[in-house]
Structures are given as structure tokens and as C-alpha cells.
Structure 1
Amino acid sequence: MNPRSSKIRTIIADKAVQQGRLAKARQFMLVADEARELSDGDGVSDAAVTLYVHAGIAAADAICAGALGRHAHGQDHQDAIALLASVDKQAATSLSVPLGMKTRAGYGHDPISETNLTRAERAARSLVENASL
């Protein structure tokens, strides 16, 4: 365990929590994917990215719950990345992609690019697939 991961606020997570977080991750993915399909380019990229962010976070919680019996609990998303890295470094890298877009997508004035939307989708999908194993 690295020094950062020893200071991370966590919450106990049993099998029910793991399954519940995975179900939420799948819900967010489904709605984000549907929004993209229905949009015809009419500016839903920020909403879709926000949903991909939530899908990624929920999937990361499910992965950590399954591997560690706990998941990150707090406002600092870097904690979630660090805790996930203690389980799966590639998954932690995937989580950092949509989280890096969260503020701009949710609070910025300019839209997320199609390229970044695709990056967020791929990262979230990878996390949900990983959590489903």
C-alpha cells in the first residue's frame, strides 16, 4: 500500500454494494449511449460525458468493492484513482480520463469535443466491462 492509499477515506462495501454500484454503472452507460444515439449532433456531449463520468466512478467503486471490500468515499476523485490503482493500474488510468473532463463538461461554457466524448465513452466502457468480470 502506498502512502497516499493509506490516507484515502473509504467505506465498507460488501457483495450487495458491489452489485449495486455495478448496476448504477450500467445504468449510466446505457443512458449516455442512448443520448449519443438520439442526439444527431445537437449538443448533448457534455451531458453524455457527465454520465460517462458517473459510470466510471460507479464501476471503479464496484471493482474496489470486489477486490478490497471497500471503495473510496469522499469528494477527492484522486483518492478514487489511487485506491483503484492499488487494485488495477490500467483501470485507474481509465478512470482518470473521464474524471479529467468532469468539471469542464458539467460546469464549463464550451462543449466537449467529439474526440473527448469518444475518449470518455471508451474509458467508462472499459471500467464497466472490468467491473462486470
Structure 2
Amino acid sequence: MSPRPVGRTQNCGAAEGRVRLDQARAFLDVAELVGAEDNELATPSVATALAVLAGIAAADAACCTVLGRRARGQDHRQAVDLVAQVAHGGAAMSRHLRRLLAVKDDAHYGLLHVSHQRATAALRQARQLVDTAADLLDES
């Protein structure tokens, strides 16, 4: 029995997974660079926003490579359910992505600044997602 579909998806494979992993790494590299700076106003929010993008791209990479499809609905939370179906790390990826998406609106659109503590947590979660996706792509 195949897993039940989760929202709108798009077919993809290992090649697309590699592209999304490269994008995830680029987002994360910039997020970590920005997060290392000492700018109390914008830096934590910007680092968090980029960490969210890295996490979404890493989840896409894992889903494309392992499941052959990625979430394409308006609600990124569909990706949380889909990535949970990935064997060997999907449950943890789902948790990390859910936590990142919880700060997405504040980081991308909010008028309040994201704290350094939340930014640090977002960077850690994004790093876990990128590392797990990289491991999955290496196995394929």
C-alpha cells in the first residue's frame, strides 16, 4: 500500500534533488554568514528567513530523491507531512521543518524582530535538514 497523497505534489527525481540540495546549501551558507554578524536589528530575522528557505529546499531534495515527488501546494506545511514519509530520517526532518515553518512568517513578513536565540535554533534546524538530505542523496 502506497502512502496517501499529501496536497499538491510535483514529480521529480535525483537530478532535481541535487539542484534543490545545492540551493539549500547556498541558502544555509548565507544564513550562517549573516547570522555571524553583529547587527541587532535585521540580522537575526534575515538569517532565520534564509534558514527557512534552506530547510524547505533540503526537504524538497530529500523528497525528490527518495519519494520521486515534492510538495507544491501553497501551504509549506504540506511538505512537513510529505518529508515524514522519507525512510531513514524523515521523522526528524519533519520535526525540524515544522519548527522552521513556525518562525517563517515572523522572519519573512513580521514587523517584530526574530531573537538571536530563535535565529540560532533556526540555523541549527536548517543544518540538520541539509545534512540529512545530503546523506540521503549520497546513498542514492
Q: Does the TM-score normalized on the shorter chain lie above 0.5?
A: yes
Q: How many residue pairs get matched? A: 130
- Structure 1 range deviating more: 21-30 or 113-122: 113-122
CA distance in 2, matches of 1:97, 1:7: 19
Provide the secondary structure at the position in 1 that maps to 2:70: strand
Aligned counterpart, 1:101: 103
Does structure 1 conserve the Cα–Cα contact (< 8 Å) formed by 2:6 and 2:71? no
Map residues 3-82 of structure 1 onto 2, 5 A cutoff.
Answer: 5-37=4-36, 39-43=37-41, 44-82=43-81
Amino acid at match of 2:100: P
| TM superposition outliers: structure 1 runs of 4+ over 4 Å | none
Amino acid at match of 1:34: L
Provide the secondary structure at the position in 1 that maps to 2:10: strand
CA distance in 2, matches of 1:32, 1:7: 29
Q: List alignment gaps of at least 5 residues for structure 1.
A: none
For the aligned residue pairs, the C-alpha RMSD in angstroms reads 1.3
**1:115 lines up with 2:108 in the alignment:** no
Normalised to the residue count of structure 2, the TM-score between the two structures is 0.88
Give the deviation of 1:109 after TM superposition: 1.2
Percent identity among equivalent residues? 38
CA distance in 1, matches of 2:23, 2:11: 18
